[in-house]
Chains A and B, each alone.
Chain A
Amino acid sequence: MTHTILRLTQLISKLREYLLKSDAMEVITPILLDLPTSEPTISNFKIEKRNKYLRTSSEFELKKILIEKNIDVFEIGHVFRANESGSIHLEEFRMLEWYRREKSYIDLMEEISSLLEFIGINYKTLCLSYKKVFEDAFDIEPHTATDSDLRDLIRKNLEVNETLLIGRGELFDCLNIVLMKTKLFKENAIFVYDFPAELRGYSELCDDPRYAKRFELYIQGIEIVNGYQEIVDSEIQELCFKEENKFRKERGFPTAALNQEFINILKKNNCGPYSGAAMGIERLLAVLHQVESFNQLKIY
Chain B
Amino acid sequence: MGSITTNQFKQGVKLLIDGDPYNIIENEFVKPGKGQAFNRVKLRNLKNNRVVEKTYKSGESLELADVTEIELQYSYNNGSEWVFMNPDNFEQIVTSLDILGDTVKWLKPQEMCQVTLWNNSPISVMPPNFVNLKVVETDPGFKGDTATGGSKPATLETGAIVKVPLFIEINELLKIDTRSGEYISRVKDL
Contacts and interface: CB of A to CB of B under 8 A. Distances in A.
B34 interface: yes
Interface stretch (A25-33, A67-75, A155-163): A155-163
Contacts of B28: 86-87
Nearest to A177: B30
B35 A161 contact: no
B44 to A, nearest CB: 14
B55 A41 contact: no
A98 to B, nearest CB: 18
Interface in B42-83: 52-58, 60
Given A41-B37, A161-B60, A164-B60, A173 B32 contact: yes
Contact of A173 (B36, B40, B52): B36
Sort chain B's interface into a size bin. Answer: 20 to 34
B29 A87 contact: yes
A39 B34 contact: yes
A231 interface: no
Contacts of B163: none
B33 interface: yes
Contacts of B130: none
Contacts of A174: 36, 38, 55
A226 B57 CA distance: 22
A160 B30 CA distance: 13
Contacts of B33: 176, 199, 216, 223, 226
B29 A85 contact: yes
B34 A177 contact: no
Nearest to A87: B28
A42 B32 CA distance: 12
Given A86-B28, A170-B36, A176-B35, 6 more contacts: A41-B31, A84-B29, A158-B55, A165-B57, A176-B32, A176-B33
Interface of B: 7, 28-38, 40, 52-58, 60
9 contacts: A39-B34, A83-B58, A161-B57, A165-B36, A169-B36, A177-B32, A180-B30, A199-B33, A223-B33
